[in-house]
Structure 1
Amino acid sequence: MKQQHLTWMHIGAGSFHRAHQAWYLNQLLSKGDDRWSIALGNIRDDATDLLNNLAHQHGEYVLETVTPAGKRAYEKIRSIRTIVPWDKQLSALTQQGSDPATRVISFTVTEGGYYLDTHFKLEAGNPDIKADLAGQATTIYGALSKILHQRMQLNSGKVTLLCCDNVRHNGERFHDGMIQFLETKGDQELLSWMNNNCTTPNTMVDRITPRPTADIAPRVKEALGIDDLAPVMGEAFIQWVIEDNFVAGRPALEKVDVEMVESVVPYEEAKIRILNASHSCIAWAGTLIGLNFIDESTRHQDIYKLAYEYISEDVIPSLTPCPLDLENYRDVVLDRFSNPYIKDTNQRVAADGFSKIPGMVTPTLDDCYNRGSVPKSATALPALFFLFMQRWHQGSLPYNYEDGILDEAAVHAMFNSPDPIAVYARDKKLFGLQANNADFEALLRQQIKQLRQWAHSHLSEPVA
């Protein structure tokens, strides 16, 4: 009997998927397990050149990895077998997603891409969401609504919807957002179908993957003799933790060191609060003193100290007890950020701060106050972001700031108000319960004052 070939469709033709999930499935291929392959597509028309280049190469490309010691390795990735061309109606993506052979649909969404407020309610008034409620497909909800509708109509069977991003409880958050989207739209038929035919496991993903630069292709050419139009690079470190709740089968991911678990919570909390939050801290701080890259920012003694103290003094006590060795995890993370060969930009990591503060930082503020501790080190992060956005307001950031939920008018109004810090500190979307905490506001004022003086004194200081 001939073995059925199954498809894992991924939405989001960015570097991270090609350096992470595609790598894991490629490891299975290299072990002789070719039951699954990837179909790669995009919701928006911002990756057409990449998709065309991948199509020209039959989905194949080279992944370059590099260790903190500078050891580079090259691997040809062959797990992407189908390139889904973009069209405005997402007809090709919908066709692929509704194919009965497609059993997993994964996606990588930025923190702002879920369009959820701090109470995890769908921001139905957002222009993108309003457009999709009216029948367009510019968000993950609109796109999957089209795909699942056709899947339901064609009776294509059950499918796992898998988040591959940095959002805490991402499967639950996506599920809640999707349900609210369908309820708001009044689509009870699809709502019922989804509840009976889809699962949305939580996941934790990790591999630092900067945007590709022009110098990767020449190194690939020198190492392998290949003219690659779509190479990608990332750090050597990689991790993937998934709740084992696939409703329609899955690849044998446990055979390639994916951690299949009942709950991702301890892994997720450690990564989000230690890695993701300190990553943003370093990006904001580095930008404020004129640095361009994460590695040089991390190696700046004062910035390293900010991140180290934030983790040691406020995060680790908040996460203890934990099955992970948090001190070791902290040290490994900061060593990875210091990798001088990655050249990840502060611009990339600084993005989406209005989602990152409530998602990655405020929980630690809450935990500290709940146990009677003053979160001095943790408050440095929202203080840095305030100073960072003040530069944005003044038009003096050295790059374009990207944020999926940035309300430009509101931010300008905040900085034009008589007391911008008060407006910022009392923002419930950012700080939840602490928005009513006078002690937090006073501490935030103190940290902003100190860090403003620090940034001014260190601007454009050379890094050893």
Structure 2
Amino acid sequence: MTINATGPYTWLHLGAGSFHRAHQAWYLHRLRQAGDHTWTLALGNIREDMSPLLAALARQKGEYTLETITPEGVHEYETVRSISKIVPWDAQLAALVETGAAAQTRVISFTVTEAGYYLDQHFKLDVTNPDLAADLKGDKRTIYGALHAILSARRAADQGPVTLLNCDNLRHNGERFRDGMLQFLALRGETGLADWVTVNTASPNCMVDRITPRPVPAVRERVKAATGVDDEVPVMGESFIQWVVEDHFIAGRPALENVGVEMVESVQPYEEAKIRILNASHSCIAWAGTLIGLTYIHEGTHVPSIRQMAYAYVTEDVIPCLSPSPLDLGKYRDVVLDRFGNPSIQDSNQRVAADGFSKIPGFIAPTLNECFKRGATPGATAMLPALFYVFLQRWADGKLPYEYQDGILDASATRAMLAAADPIAAFCADPMLWGAIAGKPEFVVLMRESVERVNGWLATQ
């Protein structure tokens, strides 16, 4: 629902990375450009790493330049002016808590990456993670610790309900976050706060989509050449953008439908198509491209054998799993591959290859499980985890061309797995990665064959 009042109301976002500034902030900017000033955007971060960016944004009064690039190479530049408040980071998150607990704050959204929810294959919190363990003792390193502080203050001040909107690439992201938050409160023994959260918050699912590479100095140079503005913190993304949100807000919302956001009853078919077709194929191309010495996603997409891996995965296994669908899945597949092939985006394999231990169970294992369940052999899908397995071997041997970044990587356990007497069987045995098929003989056989196929393919490159 939209609010029948003049406002202004605050939308607080946690996570100051490029994606938010190229996506949610852009939509809110467009709404303000259309004359709707009911909502303002506040931006903060849970961790200290984005403090230089927040300081630069503060110097620019929240304004920054968005560069978008079409698959045909057309560059466009727009000054985004939706951020009215930069929340400075401090170790206790005092300023963030104050903003989140304010009466005018009605939506709190967040982008903390797939790994930032610390959920196992049963969607239970991984309490062995040191950051989560610290937050269970009162720290504020994770989304749960930060929101615990915000919601506690909000409840104490009787400031009313708030929508908590997960904008990460996590299947059923609102539900998964909400389950995790309530588990966190239960583990802390916070029964009263949990009851308050149940009544006074909503967590709609949503699907977000815009390829947004990590910023490089060349973006700042292009922005200055095109606009004359020396923007300290510009952001670049592809021209394509999509946001599908369940219309289940508890304290009102901006009229996002007026600027192209799809407000729906259920995001499920859009979400499944995006996660399995776009996100999984993206990882496929990143792992494969890295293994043959490429740097960027578009380079791998233009290698016929890599493109065919992604195409076969979607065509042979995903489309049968997701049919029938309200989307034209074949057309969506083709649009996605065309987007990946955009040479102007310069999206790095390092960025997309990250967080494999979250992406395997989130993006790829569901298709494997569903195929086996219906009696089909998911040979095309198995190539993706086989690529990741060989990628991990390179990582363990110190032969990757970049530092592998993974929020839940257990380096010692992964090295032990790769050094096991039967490392492929050990890889296949982890239920956190594979769910119901973990350790099943037919899965192990398929992975042996798939790793052999990957190694055979590499020998031809």
TM bucket by the smaller chain? over 0.9
Contact 1:298 1:337 (C-alpha < 8 Å) held by counterparts = yes
Find the aligned partners of 2:353 and 2:222 in 1 and give their Cα distance.
28
Spell out structure 1 runs of 4+ moving beyond 3 A: none
Residue 170 of structure 2 corresponds to residue 167 of structure 1:
yes
TM-score under structure 1 normalisation? 0.98
Does 2:46 match 1:43?
Answer: yes
Is residue 432 of structure 1 aligned with residue 435 of structure 2?
yes
Read off the aligned partner of 1:275 and give its amino acid letter.
L
Q: Which amino acid aligns with 2:97?
A: T
* Counterpart-to-counterpart distance in 1, 2:62 and 2:138: 31
What 5-or-longer segments of structure 2 have no aligned partner?
none
Which residue of the other structure, out of 181, 192, 195, is the alignment partner of 2:195? Answer: 192
Contact 2:317–2:380 (Cα < 8 Å) also in 1: yes
Residue 107 of structure 2 is matched in structure 1 by 104
Q: After the TM superposition, which of the residue ranges 224-233 and 166-175 deviates more from structure 2?
A: 224-233
Give aligned-pair identity as a percent.
Answer: 60
User: What's the CA shift for 1:454?
Assistant: 1.6
What is the 5 A alignment of 1:284-299?
A: 284-299=287-302
| Aligned CA-pair RMSD | 1.0
2:392 to 379, 389, 409: 389
Distance 2:112 2:332 in 1: 25
Counterpart CA distance in 2 for 1:37 and 1:224 is 25
| One-letter identity of the residue aligned with 1:115 | Y
Deviation at 1:2, TM superposition (A): 9.1
Contact 1:289–1:456 at 8 Å: present in 2 too? no
Asked whether the 8 Å contact 1:24–1:256 carries over to 2, the reply is yes
What per-residue deviation string (whole Å, max 9, x for no partner) do you get for residues 302-336 of structure 1? Answer: 10000000000000011000000000000000000
**8 A Cα contact 2:425 2:439, kept in partner:** no
Secondary structure in 2 aligned to 1:81? strand
Shift of the alpha carbon at 1:189? 1.4
Equivalent position to 1:225, from 228, 232, 253: 228
What pairs with 1:175-214 in structure 2 (closer than 5 Å)? 175-214=178-217
TM superposition shift of 1:90: 0.2
Which residue number in structure 1 is paired with residue 153 of structure 2?
150
C-alpha deviation, 1:457, in angstroms: 3.1
Residue 402 of structure 1, aligned match among 395, 401, 405? 405
Task: Give CA deviations for 1:128-174 in whole Å, capped at 9, x if unaligned.
Answer: 11100111000000000000000001111100000011000000000
- 1:34 corresponds in structure 2 to 37
Aligned AA for 2:375? G
> In structure 2, what is the Cα distance between the partners aligned to 1:139 and 1:208?
25
Does the Cα contact within 8 Å between 2:7 and 2:39 map onto a contact in 1?
A: no
Deviation at 1:453, TM superposition (A): 2.4
CA distance in 1, matches of 2:180, 2:129: 13
Partner Cα distance (2:153, 2:131) in 1: 22
Q: Which runs of 5+ in 1 are unaligned?
A: 459-464
TM-score (ref. length: structure 2) = 0.98
Q: Are residue 340 (structure 1) and residue 343 (structure 2) matched?
A: yes
Aligned with 1:363 (options 362, 366, 384): 366
Q: Does 1:94 find its partner at 2:97?
A: yes
Aligned pair 1:256/2:259, yes or no?
Answer: yes
Conservation of the 8 A alpha-carbon contact between 1:112 and 1:404: yes
8 A Cα contact 2:171 2:275, kept in partner? yes
CA distance in 1, matches of 2:394, 2:301: 21
Supply the distance in 1 between the matched residues of 2:221 and 2:357 (Cα, whole angstroms).
37
Paired residue for 1:64? 67
Match of 1:462 in 2: none
Compute the displacement of 1:291 (Å).
0.4
In structure 2, what is the Cα distance between the partners aligned to 1:385 and 1:374?
19
Query: 1:427 deviation in Å?
Result: 1.3
Q: For residues 370 and 195 of structure 1, what CA distance do their matches in structure 2 show?
A: 35
